[in-house]
Amino acid sequence: MTIGFENRTVRVVIGFLTAAALVVVYLPPLYLVGVSFNPALQPALPSLGDLSVKWYVELANERGLLAALRESLLIATATTVISVSVALAAALAYLELGKLRNAWFLLVLMPMFVPGLIQGLALSVILNRWQVVPFWGTVAMGHLLWALPFAFTVILTSMVSVRRSYLLAAADLGASWWQRVTQIILPLIIPGIVGGVIFSFLLSLNEFARSSYLVGRQNTLPLVLFGKMNSGASPTIYALSGLILMASVLAVALFMYLSARRKRA
């Protein structure tokens, strides 16, 4: 008798569903990259003979898009630095906690389950109450609520490689808490920290809901792209989207390479 995954029909169905899901996930962004190399104004896939980087060159003249990109990169960088630093501290605190670990874990992850519109609105009301003029820093505050739980989860997952016996042995040899952190824990969780950096940066770069409530005079890139789509899309936004997508793929590939290299070491 065959059961479960040993059944050929079940394997075929699961394989088909998985392939269909992958097509749904990857086809739209890949189509967008293809469209970005079409020299025509209409968003369609070009033939191999018509491939062109025309709209990538035109990006240099899109001052509004580039200003929004700079704003988003600034916000994403600030969000990444703060969220990864706080997430690392929270993960180290998790190691030191005993019975309170579960409560601490849920406390740090709680912002993940609050809708972005609610977070953005609540933060906007508070900042307005305090008479804080919206600027890139207020947007970064909103993004921090979104990125921190993900960075904490990724870093905490990498903590699996930190065995308690390592820390106890180091403590027996006279190593201080700081020495155990810098010479044992941090080297072991570098892939997790890199993953937290990538997740935080990309989450902030893509964030729309919280930004719409907290943005200052300069819109972020997602807000500008949304506005341009509603007012008649320019092919340059496909080129910019293609660049961001390719950079994201390279960042994830780097993370996977570091993880694989770490496992082989």
| N-to-C CA span, the chain | 43
User: How does pLDDT run across 182-211, given as a tens digit for each residue?
Assistant: 999 998 898 889 889 988 998 999 899 999
The 10s digit of each residue's pLDDT in 21-46 is 988 888 888 888 888 888 887 777 88
Asked if residue 261 has pLDDT above 80, the reply is: no
The pLDDT assigned to 12 comes to 87
**Which pair of tokens denotes residue 244?**
């961001």
Q: Identify the CA nearest to 194 among candidates 71, 104, 87, 75.
A: 87
- Give the separation between CA 234 and CA 228, rounded to whole angstroms: 7
Quote the crossing angle between the two packed helices 63-96 and 190-206, to the nearest 10°.
Answer: 140
**Tell me, what's the pLDDT at 3?**
55
| Stretch 77-86: mean pLDDT | 96
Average pLDDT of span 69-73? 93
- What does the pLDDT read at residue 238? 86
* Phi-psi label, residue 174: left if phi above 0, alpha if psi -120 to 50, beta otherwise: left
Choose among 29, 77, 105: nearest CA to 204: 77
**For residue 98, what pLDDT is reported?**
78
Query: Average pLDDT, stretch 222-235?
Result: 80
Read off the pLDDT band of 228 (50, 70, 90): confident
Beta-carbon count within 10 A of 232 CB = 6
pLDDT digits (tens, 9 = 90+) for 230-259: 776 678 888 888 888 888 888 778 777 877
What pLDDT score was predicted for residue 39? 85
- Structure tokens belonging to residue 91: 């993960």
Q: Name which residue leads in pLDDT, 85 or 64.
A: 85
Instruction: Record the tokens describing residue 164, joined without a space.
Output: 């308690």
**pLDDT category of residue 220 using cuts at 50, 70 and 90:** very high
In this prediction, residue 54 carries a pLDDT of 87
- Give the span between the Cα atoms of 33 and 38, in whole angstroms: 9
**135 — pLDDT class (breaks 50, 70, 90):** very high
Tokens of 16: 């088909």
Summarize the confidence of residues 160-178 as an average pLDDT: 86
Question: Using an 8 Å Cβ cutoff, are 96 and 246 in contact?
Answer: no
Instruction: Report pTM.
Output: 0.81
Residue 126 identity: I
Question: Looking at residue 265, what is its pLDDT?
Answer: 64
pLDDT band at 263 (very low <50, low <70, confident <90, very high): low
Residue 2 has pLDDT above 70, yes or no: no
Longest dimension (CA), the chain: 71
- Alpha carbon 93 to its chain centroid, in Å, reads 23
Q: Nearest Cα to 237, choosing from 248, 228, 246?
A: 228
- pLDDT score for 174: 86
